[in-house]
Structure 1
Amino acid sequence: MKRNGYILISMMMLFVSIMSSCKKDFIELNTDPNGTPNALPQQLLAPALVNTLGTNMLRARNFNNELMQVTVDPGDSEGKVFRYDIKRTWADVTWNAWYTQLTNFKDIYTIASKEVTYSKSYMGISLICQAWLYSLLTDTYGDVPYFDSNKGKDGNFTPKFDKQKDIYLDIFKNLEAADTLLNASANVVAGSDPVFNGNALKWRKFGNSLYLRLLLRVSGKADVSADVIAKIKQIVDTNPDAYPIMGSNDDSAVLRWTGSGALTSPFIGGVREQDWRQPGVCEFFVNNLAKWADPRLTTNRWSISSYQGGIQGIPSGYAPGQNIGIKSYFQSTTSTTTLMNDPLMGNIMNYSELQFILAEAAAKGWIAGDAATYYKNGIKAGITFWIPTDATSIDAYLAAADIVWDNAGPLDEKMEMIHVQKYYSMFYTDFEQWFEYRRTGHPVLPKGAGLRNNGIMPARLQYPVYVQSANPDSYKAAVAAQGADEISTQVWWQKQ
């Protein structure tokens, strides 16, 4: 009886310890900025951007790329993402990192609102970055804390989870406000801004291009589609002067890794070279490029290794027990530019993606532009983003690859043409490939016999386990409203 008592006490102490740790993590997540209470916006912006991109790139590599058949990390162990076998612990890193950086972006807004110099510019930049991170959070998890999030300083450690629809509508309001703030605003301190070197107009163009990305994402929902389509038309056709958008690759939102100090790629030091080479390149990813004779396949910047005299990928979703080894893979070296140290890997949103957004809107008749032209421009920009000196005739390339736009084709065929190309434009761009696949079902991905989750692409990540104990009432309310906390539960914009 005494022994059982000791066991009971030990279990209670362990439970208290775990709960204390969970509560501590949750409080820190809601209160811990990178800077000090007296920091200036120009001191907070670069660290917040660098830390966000570091998380996005590492998770793009080991999560998005595995789901979306860019790479395959072969093996038969549990938790292989390429088989849709998603452990609950996958949820923690992005949740914690994005909410932590939201504290910093919100601090930029608060501090800038009390400043005179550059105040409107930093406020506008802050709203754009908040919109970007909140969109990543809600598109990854569904309903999440939004209106009450990051208020630990005010004593709110248990924020309610807001509905995704309400989050999106408020994101749109903030992007409108950001456009107004940045209109004719002064450039910010160049050294504080590793994305646009202080150029306020380019931030404005990015904000409105992001606006189009997010409008398109919810355009399939009947309860908002009319307003969303009208706004897309206003931005592109009716009043483009009020909503400048990216006009070339030079306007792309990219945090360029210079290799100096904090601007060193997170892959350097964050991933061992032998681990970098462990995932093989997927068949789907390389076979399309080979079929098109695409120059990106053999560019030194991507550095895909050869295998038996060529480039050969691994089939994704293969069944356990097949003993499939690595064939071609992304190489790593510090003596030349590879994906491990490439400045362009800090991509947030590029001009090529925007062109495919416009191509889809034009193909659906929402805007007056020519879908074929947007499609062609998107492919060309996607190639020259990585190979600026490429002089390939885009018309000759499309003809040789047999991917010329067909205006007479059915919409679903056009969507596949757009999205298989958009897939490459969003290479290593956080989870955007996964989000767009969930929205559209394109590009069509082959399905192997070893897939879990009934062979259906995961619709979300589960909430971090510690949230269940640190914020139980809000967690239960979110699950009751959205559905079971499982990877198969669709988020609002996915549901028919």
Structure 2
Amino acid sequence: MKLLKYSFYILASAGLLLSACRKDFEEINTDPNKARYANPETLIGPSLIRMVQVNQNRCLRINNELMQVHVTTINSDEIHRYVIRPAESDYLWNNWYPERTDFLDIYRGGVKLDSNSTYMGIGLILDAWNISLLTDMFGDVPYSEANMGRYEDIYQPKFDKQEDIYMDVFKKLEAANTLLAKGVTVAEGDATLDYLYHTDPALWRKFGNSLYLRLLLRVSGKAEANAPAKMQEIVANPSQYPLFANNDESAILRFTTTPPFVSAFNTYRDYDFNGDNGLSTFFINNLKEWDDPRINKWASKVSGTFEGISSGYAVGDVPERQSYYLAALKNEPLLGNILNYPELQFILAEAALKGYISGSAQSFYEEGVKAALNLWGYEMPDNYLSREGIKWNESDMEFDKMEKIHLQKYYTMFFTDFQQWYEYRRTGHPVLPKGPGLRNDGKMPSRLNYPVMVQTLNATNYKNAVEQMGPDDINTKVWWNK
């Protein structure tokens, strides 16, 4: 029974902190006069680092294969052929949920610290970010009863519908915006423990509202979400809903090379990072066509030029590796990206194109293109916006404008968890070439399976989830994608 109960902690994320460095955390942070809680300032930094490291790890393994950033040269590894083994789910589920415990405790700690509105707002934003990744990956997931083992002895949480999760996430982001508007500062020593914004309430507020727009756009195809109206309200009221104003305000966890504040790839051998893959023809050829300077920081040259390899190659027909990730990317601070200013501009461009918000889609698009280059340290070359494949043509059909927006957005979200894949599932952009070796009837997977142990240890709620959402396979579409 003890083993079974412990398994529920892991797989249902009922509140146990798995990391060895936190095993005695509750004893350290026990208040003899009140209920036990964690000091929020001690949780922000380590939890953010771990969350981004997990995202980097599986972005390299899963997202970048599916979205043709790179292609494996190991014939038996078939993610690029749309074959995803169920075991791929375990790592994300078993790492994202424990980090959610910490994000919830940041909020609870803020409540205990004389209702510190800044910590409360930060906790709500991080929880919204975390659960959005979970539900966009799996669909219906444990939410309202998840991470409650420590407080409510719930070890078999129900699965909430994705629609309900999203509606509650929006409430949390509204609350966070209100809390952070109070502008409560924290002690200077505590502020430095937040490696993202040093607990600056103004910057956290901008991050929360920019995240709000990302998620509203994701569900904008569902009339019941009423997302377009809310997007218009946010954009039309910048004093009430401030957003990122420049690249410096982007949510990027800029890793160093000094542990523990390091990238997930810091300890990788070069081979582990780039030795068994090559950059795809799709990824390389667009950059070459545009003469995009970012290629010099992302890709190696082969015989003096940049060359890619085809994704979805037939079984046994392994191509010879050409250009590959530069090893310097292992410790590149910009690979700690969560949500950046250029992505926000492309969100606004699509929203304007579809009439959700006022403003010029072209202006937002061109600002996004410029900012994306600036983010990587490059000034926009002369006539760059007039180049074939980049130039905005007002007379183009909406499909072609969407392709331009999302192709630029694709490169802007380089190594940003699973955002490329999530956006492709929502829009079908950018249009990816289909190789001859694709499986799964050539269909891009729509989600990951639930972990096998969850199916066993939380069987009743798992079965209920499958009944309400659809079969537990990679082709079942999540709510916002139906």
TM, length-normalised to structure 2:
0.93
Q: Aligned to 1:437, what secondary structure does the other structure show?
A: helix
1:381 correspondence with 2:366: no
Tell whether the 8 Å contact from 1:84 to 1:451 is kept in structure 2 after alignment. yes
Separation in 2, partners of 1:46, 1:458: 33
Moved more, 173-182 or 316-325: 316-325
Q: Where do 1:55-70 residues align within 5 Å?
A: 55-70=54-69
- Which residue of the partner structure matches residue 137 of structure 1? 134
Q: In the superposition, relative to structure 1, how do residues 363 and 155 fare at CA in structure 2: closer, same or farther (>3 Å)?
A: same
How far residue 260 of structure 1 moved from its aligned partner, in angstroms, is: 1.9
Q: Identity percentage over the alignment?
A: 48
How far residue 184 of structure 1 moved from its aligned partner, in angstroms, is: 2.9
- Which residue of the partner structure matches residue 335 of structure 1? none
Moved more, 317-326 or 164-173: 317-326
Q: In the superposition, relative to structure 1, how do residues 378 and 391 fare at CA in structure 2: closer, same or farther (>3 Å)?
A: closer
- Which residue of the partner structure matches residue 260 of structure 2? 262
Tell whether the 8 Å contact from 1:234 to 1:240 is kept in structure 2 after alignment. no
- Which residue of the partner structure matches residue 367 of structure 1? 357
How far residue 402 of structure 1 moved from its aligned partner, in angstroms, is: 4.3
TM, length-normalised to structure 1:
0.90
Separation in 1, partners of 2:18, 2:271: 34
Q: Deviations over 1:6-50 (max 9, x none)?
A: xxxxxxxxxx99968744633665322654121411111101100
- Which residue of the partner structure matches residue 344 of structure 1? 334
Residue type of the alignment partner of 1:385:
L
Q: Aligned to 2:338, what secondary structure does the other structure show?
A: strand
Q: Where do 1:96-175 residues align within 5 Å?
A: 96-116=94-114, 119-153=116-150, 154-175=152-173
Match 1:390 to one of 370, 379, 388: 379
Separation in 2, partners of 1:422, 1:27: 34
Separation in 1, partners of 2:420, 2:146: 27
Separation in 1, partners of 2:380, 2:433: 33
Q: CA RMSD in A?
A: 1.7
How far residue 426 of structure 1 moved from its aligned partner, in angstroms, is: 0.6
Query: Which runs of 5 or more residues in structure 2 are unaligned?
Result: 30-37
- Which residue of the partner structure matches residue 246 of structure 1? 244
- Which residue of the partner structure matches residue 454 of structure 1? 441
- Which residue of the partner structure matches residue 228 of structure 2? 229
- Which residue of the partner structure matches residue 5 of structure 1? none
- Which residue of the partner structure matches residue 46 of structure 1? 45
Match 2:454 to one of 440, 453, 467: 467
Q: In the superposition, relative to structure 1, how do residues 24 and 98 fare at CA in structure 2: closer, same or farther (>3 Å)?
A: closer
Query: Which runs of 5 or more residues in structure 1 are unaligned?
Result: 1-15, 333-337
Separation in 2, partners of 1:18, 1:125: 34
Separation in 2, partners of 1:449, 1:391: 37
Q: Aligned to 1:267, what secondary structure does the other structure show?
A: coil
Q: Aligned to 1:458, what secondary structure does the other structure show?
A: coil
Separation in 1, partners of 2:404, 2:318: 34
Separation in 2, partners of 1:242, 1:51: 32
- Which residue of the partner structure matches residue 279 of structure 1? 277
Q: Deviations over 1:351-377 (max 9, x none)?
A: 000000000011111211111110000
Separation in 1, partners of 2:13, 2:182: 37
1:30 correspondence with 2:15: yes
Q: Aligned to 1:362, what secondary structure does the other structure show?
A: helix
Residue type of the alignment partner of 1:62:
R
Q: Aligned to 2:192, what secondary structure does the other structure show?
A: helix
Separation in 2, partners of 1:257, 1:52: 13
Tell whether the 8 Å contact from 1:286 to 1:312 is kept in structure 2 after alignment. yes
Residue type of the alignment partner of 2:466:
V
Tell whether the 8 Å contact from 2:140 to 2:162 is kept in structure 1 after alignment. yes
- Which residue of the partner structure matches residue 199 of structure 2? 198
Tell whether the 8 Å contact from 1:29 to 1:96 is kept in structure 2 after alignment. no
